[in-house]
Structure formats: structure tokens, C-alpha cells
Amino acid sequence: MDRPAQIPTDAADPRLLLAVPNVSEGRLRPVVDAVGAAYASGGARVLDVHVDPDHHRSVHTLAGTPGTLADAVAAGAAEALARIDLATARGIHPHVGALDVAPIVFLDDARRGAAILEALVLGDRLGALGLPVFLYGLLGDGRTRAEVRRGGPGALARRLAAGELRPDFGPARLHPTAGAVLVGARPPLLAFNVELAAPATVDDARRIAAAVREGGADGLPGVRAIGLELRHPEGLAAGRGAAAEDPGPAAGADADSGARTASPSRTGNRDTPRATDEGTGSATDEPAIERAQLAETAARTPVPVDGPAPIAQVSCNVEDHRAVPLARLVAAVAAHAPVAACEVVGLPPRAAFAGFPDDLPVRGRRILEDVLAD
């Protein structure tokens, strides 16, 4: 696929913005492919795809310019609305929408204003699709994703009906099948998952997450963490898409941080989420107020009768990799239990891996600067 000429290919280009939309689908590759193809047809360059069946989430990393990126994300959102129904179980990642979160990312302070304006345009576009849009972070007076997701879609519907919350764009009621969406503008956030060596359990992962997150005993600044049990350690048949060619349906690939090929969480390289952004990323913030939803969704996730044992994972978001390089995060986890492997969701800048141990495997390790130059 030829990428649009107007999309910069250098992270230093002042026109370049990123978007990291997370959709609540990580098990049906054709759905993830179709959403990714819609982003691309809308004018974005798809740099990376991370898919995860446990989190039931896919995270796309998109590049574009102001004036085009919001339209591209809205095109993917329309595809997600047509294909994803929240009435079906959506995995262990907290969520309130089919397109759950859609941040616009600025790589330096000079692009902050452009990202804020693009995020506001995106909120308007998504509201026009019938989605209630909640701004968070810089645009939401510091409101966190967790505050909106508390209790899941059902609780959010009740809070809207009671007038406790009002969306910033769109209708004051959930979309009947696609829920709501969170939109923000932010600097790069790293979704990074640390898998513990056997025989560690999910209880160990939760204890360690409580220790390493901001405010915990180890107090890593700007780190959000929860402990999870992964029940698909071998992944699905198809998984991580690496570039703009991935999204096309003809590729048959899954287009965070969802479905895995070589992806994503345990084969060779998630999303995330988790556990991205925002997880697909793959991590979540404010785990205390999301515990009820985690318990509910985890209980609905089928447990394989045969196959490898579940994996205990400490799923993290790192808000400032300059303050907490990934090497420091891994060292903090390893102080409590042996680490078997790690997984990165999305595309971290090269500086995030400064001092990282060479002998520790990291699935999905691809660097933003390298992918843009490819």
C-alpha cells in the first residue's frame, strides 16, 4: 500500500502527530483488519498493530497530519461500530466502548497545541457517529480514563441517566451496541507488560503491581499497574501487524493495545492494553476503582481445559519514560519475583529502552523512529 505523500516519515518532522486508538476486539482477525483498513483509507499511515485475545483488545498506532488524522480515526470508528457489539464478552481489559479510547499523541511540546485541536475535532467527529465522547487528561480537567470506566458500560449508562456525567460531544446516552469513547491529547505513554516466571500466580502479580505503581511501596512515578492472569499463553493464529500493509483485508492479517499472528502477547512478541493506552494498550490506570469490572470480565473469559498453564502478568502504563525507563520498571518487578519475559504494546521511542537488559526477551519490541524511517 502506498502511504499518502503528506504523512511525514520522520519523528522530528513538526507536522507529525500520532493516534493510538484502542478497540475492544482481540479475537476476530477479520474485524481488526477491517478497522485498520478503514484507518488507512481515511488517510492515516498504520505503523503498528497489537492484538490480544485475553484483553480482547487491539491497539493501532497511526501517523498523520493535523486535518487528516481525526478523519482517519473516525473512519475506523465507524467500522468498529458496524462490527463490534459490547453485548458479547470483551475480555479482561476495562472498557466502555467498541472504540474504547482514542488519544492524539504529540511527540514534543511544540506539537501539543496541534494535538489538542486535532483531539477536539476528533471528539466532534465521533459524537456525530452517535457516540457519547468523554474527554480525559489535559482536555478533561485531569479526569482519568478509570473515572469514566468505573463499573463498565452498565454503570456508565446509569450515571448518564442520573445526570452524574455529561459527555463533551455526542448524545447523553450510550450507543446501543458500541457504548462510549474516551478522547484525549497526551505525550507518548508506554504500555508495557511484565510476565512472571512460573510458579508465580495472579495473586503474586497483583501484589507486585500494588508495590510498583505510583503510591505503592516502591513508588515509581507515573506508573499504573494491575496484576492479571493470561489464559491464552500461546496466542491465536494471527497477530501483530507491523506496517501500513497490514490493515488491508486481503492481507488476512489482524490489523490495542488484538488477534495474533506472531503477536502479541505470548508468541513472539499485545497490545495491549492492554493494555494500551491505554492500554491495549494493555494496562489500566487506577486499578482500585476498576477491580469490579476486571473481576466480572475475567469471570466470563473461558478457561482452556487443555494447554499451557496461565501466565501471571503485571500490566503497566508508564506515563513518562524519561522519569521511569523500562529497565527501571523491570528491575522493580524483578525485586519481588523472577521475570520470564516482557511485552511492549505500540511503538516506544528508542530512549525508553536505555539500559534495558540484553538477555530479557521483549515481544513486540519495535522502535518508533525505526518504523517511521522504514
Q: What angle is formed at CA 260 by the lines to CA 256 and CA 266, rounded to 5 degrees?
A: 90
Q: Which pLDDT belongs to residue 94?
A: 78
Residue 157's Cβ-count burial label (10 Å; 0-12, 13-18, 19+) is middle
DSSP-derived 3-state class of residue 196: strand
CA angle 50, 53, 58 (to 5 degrees): 30
Question: pLDDT tens digits, residue range 221-251?
Answer: 999 999 998 875 444 333 333 222 222 222 2
Tell me the catalytic residues: 93
How does residue 277 score in pLDDT terms, banded at 50, 70 and 90?
very low
CA 160 to CA 158: how far, in whole Å? 5
pLDDT tens digits, one per residue of 324-356? 999 999 999 999 999 999 999 889 999 999 999
Q: Inform me whether the pLDDT recorded for 185 exceeds 70.
A: yes
Between residues 137 and 89, the one the model is more confident about: 137
Look at residue 156 and tell me whether its pLDDT is greater than 90: yes
Domains and CATH numbers, the chain: 17-186 (3.30.990.10), 190-373 (3.30.70)
Report the pLDDT averaged over residues 44-70. 92
pLDDT digits (tens, 9 = 90+) for 358-374: 999 999 899 999 999 87
Percent of the chain with pLDDT over 70: 77
The predicted model gives 84-99 an average pLDDT of 84
pLDDT, position 356:
97
Q: Cell 502477547 belongs to which residue?
A: 265
- Of 20-24, 174-178, 295-299, 368-372, the range with the lowest mean pLDDT is 295-299
Between 371 and 298, the more confident residue is 371
